[in-house]
Structure 1
Amino acid sequence: MMYPLLWMVSSTFKPDNKIFTQLGLWPQEWKFSNFSEGWNSLEHPFSLYLINSTILAVFDVVGTVVSSALAAFAFARLNFPGRKILFAMMLGTLMLPSHVLLIPQYIVFSKLGWLNTYLPLVVPHFLATNAFYIFLMVQFMRALPRELDDAARIDGCGTFRIFFRIIAPLCVPAFATTAIFTFMNSWNDFFSPLIYLTDSDLYTVPLALRQFMDSEGQSSWGPMFAMSIVSLLPIVGFFIAGQKYLMQGIATTGLK
């Protein structure tokens, strides 16, 4: 499992003509300039693409966590007409292929004038459009004792105050799990930015890595692998920072 990653790390220090011809992980000829070439060889410095991906990932994480938490709280703790039917319909969207929605969504965003902006990549995350994360949080919230809500109401808390003061602090593991998955999906997303973004100064990291390859499939392999390693660092750091909450959230979700 680790060999492809180790091979990529090794290839970042090899000349292009040695990457696919030299066997073994230890380079016979070291080339440290792949990092500087990869950083500066594209139309814009690679730092711009890192900033663009970071901005999108941060907004996506905040929007997904907040909107999914509010929707999950309604399904898990509130009683309203049609709750079970709406919840079943929401779960049904998990079986709907995303490609089916591609053309209708593109038409809607085109009518709104949002093409070549970050809005199609950000706004849906603030509208609780991912049923998986809502279901994850619902299962976590259902495991919390209902007596907490009753005690809070006796003390004068309203619905929103119960959510922010009682439920939300207890759901930090579920929120962290959602944040980690959302960050990784947003950071690695290639297809959506490819569809909605046309200006190169708006490109994210996956689109920038694709620029190392020309139309004939030829590539600057060394610089591309070097920037691939750089692009992995934020994901690894984010995962390490939230690993404790991720494992706690997976271990306790749905268990009473």
Structure 2
Amino acid sequence: MTILRKGGRHAREQRFQLLVELVMGLITLLAFVPILVMLVTSFKTNVEIYHDFFALPKRPHLENYGDAFRLLFRNMLNTIGVVGLAVVLTLVLAAVSGFVFARLDFPGKRLLYLLLLALMMIPGNLYFAPNYVLIQKYGLFNTWWALIFPWISGGQILGIVLCRNSIEQLPADLFEAARLEGCGELGELLYIAVPLAKPILSTVAVMQMVGYYNDFIWPMMVIESNTRQVITVAVRVFTNAQGTVNIGSMFAGYVIATLPILVLFLFTSRLYMEGMTAGAVKG
């Protein structure tokens, strides 16, 4: 009887596991439906779209991508440059500040760190008005610094917390041995803290890169010229300009804007997971 009872329980567990896998597969499929529709539509003409929106194109119209790439190429370069610089500056500030909070002692250290944690509780939308006033006051409106400064000021907060926790978990003997060898605080940061904190720095880089790239409201507020605009807003302007003239090119622009983030995920997902799990198991 005991063997039969265990066999029945095992069969029920297998059926439940199969049900869970089917449900998760269906949810994943539904999540990819908009992406597939966007990709298919980007190869169609207006006639095909209006005739049957969900039908496959009779032949791929690659000229849609030519039109979209020609209009968005400048904006894509803008985005890569601005986001890249903002991510580098964020990592530098987060690494230095995280090291300071983890290894150095100074008056008000705990209070200042608690204030940083409190800033994470404030919704980012509440910063729009004061940031906009500051950008106008210092003459940064319609410049790329109007994007970079607010991005790094907000993005480094999470980076400081993660870097501080990661560096704090490093063995103190490493830093003591470095001091005995004549290494200063800057050397400890460059040769010990940063190399051993690479997983968490990679995680911060990926998270902030995705956040900066996907930002839409702030660039639309502070960048007026389309030649300086980032691609998330430029795609919207492209959509308004095209209207119903060439919907296929409009969707091609969406695909082009999505590709960098997709490529980033494919090449950095391992680093992201390593950073998220770093320090989860101690031993």
Q: State the TM-score, normalized to the length of structure 1.
A: 0.90
Match for residue 247 of structure 1?
273
2:66 to 22, 36, 60: 36
Match for residue 150 of structure 1?
176
Name the SS for the 1:114 alignment partner: coil
Provide the C-alpha distance between the structure 2 equivalents of 1:155 and 1:128, rounded to a whole number of angstroms. 37
Q: Alpha carbons of 1:219 and 1:97: their partners in 2 closer, same or farther (altered >3 Å)?
A: farther
Residue identity matched to 1:66: V
Q: Is the 8 A contact 2:72 2:235 kept in 1?
A: no
Residue identity matched to 1:150: E
Match for residue 13 of structure 1?
43
Provide the C-alpha distance between the structure 1 equivalents of 2:170 and 2:64, rounded to a whole number of angstroms. 52
Deviation at 1:102, TM superposition (A): 1.4
Provide the C-alpha distance between the structure 2 equivalents of 1:179 and 1:251, rounded to a whole number of angstroms. 15
Deviations 1:131-158 (A, max 9, x none): 2221122221122111111111111111
Match for residue 237 of structure 1?
263
1:223 to 229, 245, 249: 249
Provide the C-alpha distance between the structure 1 equivalents of 2:149 and 2:165, rounded to a whole number of angstroms. 25
Deviations 1:221-249 (A, max 9, x none): 21121122122222222222222211110
Q: Is the 8 A contact 2:162 2:200 kept in 1?
A: yes
Provide the C-alpha distance between the structure 2 equivalents of 1:127 and 1:23, rounded to a whole number of angstroms. 44
Identity %: 28
Provide the C-alpha distance between the structure 2 equivalents of 1:238 and 1:215, rounded to a whole number of angstroms. 29
Residue identity matched to 1:173: P
Q: Alpha carbons of 1:158 and 1:14: their partners in 2 closer, same or farther (altered >3 Å)?
A: same
Residue identity matched to 2:124: S
Residue identity matched to 1:68: A
Equivalent positions of 1:178-189 (< 5 A) are 178-189=204-215
Deviations 1:116-175 (A, max 9, x none): 101121134555753222112222112211111111111111111100011100111111
Q: Is the 8 A contact 1:172 1:245 kept in 2?
A: no
Q: Is the 8 A contact 1:66 1:126 kept in 2?
A: no
Deviation at 1:217, TM superposition (A): 6.9
Residue identity matched to 1:135: V
Q: Which is richer in helix?
A: 2
Q: Is the 8 A contact 1:67 1:125 kept in 2?
A: no
Name the SS for the 1:244 alignment partner: helix
Provide the C-alpha distance between the structure 2 equivalents of 1:25 and 1:156, rounded to a whole number of angstroms. 70
Q: Is the 8 A contact 1:71 1:134 kept in 2?
A: yes
Provide the C-alpha distance between the structure 1 equivalents of 2:151 and 2:241, rounded to a whole number of angstroms. 33
Match for residue 158 of structure 2?
132
Provide the C-alpha distance between the structure 2 equivalents of 1:92 and 1:79, rounded to a whole number of angstroms. 21
Equivalent positions of 1:166-177 (< 5 A) are 166-177=192-203
Q: State the TM-score, normalized to the length of structure 2.
A: 0.82
Deviation at 1:87, TM superposition (A): 0.8
Name the SS for the 2:120 alignment partner: helix
Provide the C-alpha distance between the structure 2 equivalents of 1:145 and 1:47, rounded to a whole number of angstroms. 48
Name the SS for the 1:81 alignment partner: coil
Size of the aligned set, in residue pairs, is 252
Q: Is the 8 A contact 1:7 1:25 kept in 2?
A: no
Q: Is the 8 A contact 2:93 2:156 kept in 1?
A: no
Provide the C-alpha distance between the structure 1 equivalents of 2:154 and 2:67, rounded to a whole number of angstroms. 41
Residue identity matched to 1:8: M
